[in-house]
Amino acid sequence: MQPIHYTVSYRASFKPELPDFFIRKYLVEPGKKGSIVLDPFGGRGTTVIQANLHGYSAIHNDLNPVSIFLASARKSIPPLPELIGRLESLDLKKQRFSLTKSETQKLTPFFHPDTLQEILNLRKILLEEKNKDDPELKYIGVTALSRLHGHSDGFFSVYSFPQISILPSAQLKNNRVRGIQPEYRNVKDRILKKMKKDLSVTLPPEFYRASKKNHYTMHDARRLDSIKDGSVNLVVTSPPFLNKVDYLTDNWMRSWFLGFENQDPKLTVTASLSEWSDFMRDSMREIGRVLAPGGRAVIEVGEVDVGGRDENLEESLLKDLPMKVDGGFLRGEELYINLQNFTKLANCWEVKNNLRGTNTNRCLVLLKSRR
């Protein structure tokens, strides 16, 4: 898979092989050129990027503004030499910033004061209104976002693991237990190294042709208002699995870096299976509206622990099928099950293969028919 997929991590994201499989099966092999791919729960943008790599334009939707930035920053990726030149032109040492009391408490457990000043300078540049649609700065920004904090010298922070969802109080404990303090890390050097790695494989021309037509929307998945009836040929998505991931807490530092810390996107997070089922019923009805007749929606779910018992979430979806939608009916067609092997990032949450957590990708395929 293209390294561009791994520019930035995101909790509960699926691997690019998953959308790749279904894009090949339902669009590439039948030769459906000009098709549109949608991900209504877009996350870090894996579906959209994989669609673009195959030459299909796509729609990335998510209520979380961090998700929109992660995806849209990779819509138009300038050549590496241009990115390097732009990065070198940025003065990250000139200004001095005073931190609020709240920022001091949140950020100083992670960063050396000089590193933090460089981060603040870069943040100021990125948040200037004139720069918000600059493709070079957006790509530098998304790369910086991926380097904010982590477990190696390649990150801006002191040792911090896991690199997602760690609060300042936990980082202070990390520092005490390990007997460490934040040391200076050069921000530009680490952004440059990461960009060279992520852009080490040349993107195909079809990526750029397709991505120009992408759209990035911030709708509730139950009301995809800007997407026309019957305009989408394939949906590949993974909705939240009950309350298993707290996307806002997990992205608190990214939200701060991007200036979104005071926004409340009203994400649907519930521990109730019945509430989740109601939410997904309305979401599937809306997916059915935007699908073209003959189009398919692939909804990746998993098995979760509900009150001490395992629940396969696709069974809750199947209870509402077939479903009458605008322009036809939405019907269950196939179920694909893929057994997962977890990485160290999953294991750090004490999620063990086939023992805890979501052990399978369970992909329910829905077909929109006229009758």
The answer to whether 216 and 68 have CB atoms below 8 angstroms apart is yes
Helix/strand/coil percent split, the chain, to 5? 40, 15, 45
CATH class of the structural domain 3-75+203-369: alpha beta
Unique residue bearing structure tokens 């059915």: 288
Cα(350)–Cα(229) distance, integer angstroms: 43
Residue count of the chain: 371
DSSP designation for 123:
H
Predicted confidence at residue 32, as pLDDT, reads: 96
State the average pLDDT over residues 166-172.
Answer: 93
Predicted confidence at residue 261, as pLDDT, reads: 83
Share of the chain above pLDDT 70, in %: 91
Predicted confidence at residue 11, as pLDDT, reads: 72
Q: How confident is the model at residue 12 (pLDDT cuts 50, 70, 90)?
A: low
pLDDT tens-digit map of 285-321: 999 999 999 999 999 998 877 777 888 999 999 999 9
In this predicted structure, the answer to whether residue 162 has a pLDDT above a threshold of 80 is no
Calculate the CA dihedral of residues 301, 305, 307, 308 and round it to 10 degrees: 150
Give the residue range(s) of CATH 3.40.50.150 domains in the chain.
3-75+203-369
Of the candidates 2, 7, 5, 1, the residue with the CA atom closest to the CA atom of residue 193: 7
Cα(234)–Cα(58) distance, integer angstroms: 9
With 0-12 CB in 10 A as exposed, 13-18 as middle and 19+ as buried, what is 343?
exposed
* Residue 128: count of CB within 10 angstroms of its CB: 10
State the average pLDDT over residues 220-245.
Answer: 91
| pTM for the whole structure | 0.91
34: left (phi over 0), alpha (psi -120 to 50) or beta: left
Between 243 and 67, the higher pLDDT residue = 67
Predicted confidence at residue 351, as pLDDT, reads: 42
Which residue type sits at 212? K
In this predicted structure, the answer to whether residue 358 has a pLDDT above a threshold of 60 is no
Instruction: List the end-to-end C-alpha distance of the chain, in Å, as a whole number.
Output: 38
pLDDT tens-digit map of 35-49: 999 999 999 999 999
232-237 and 309-312 strand pairing: unpaired
* Mean pLDDT of all residues belonging to the chain: 90
State how far the alpha carbon of 164 is from the alpha carbons of 20, 230, 257, 271, in Å: 26, 37, 14, 21
In this predicted structure, the answer to whether residue 120 has a pLDDT above a threshold of 90 is yes
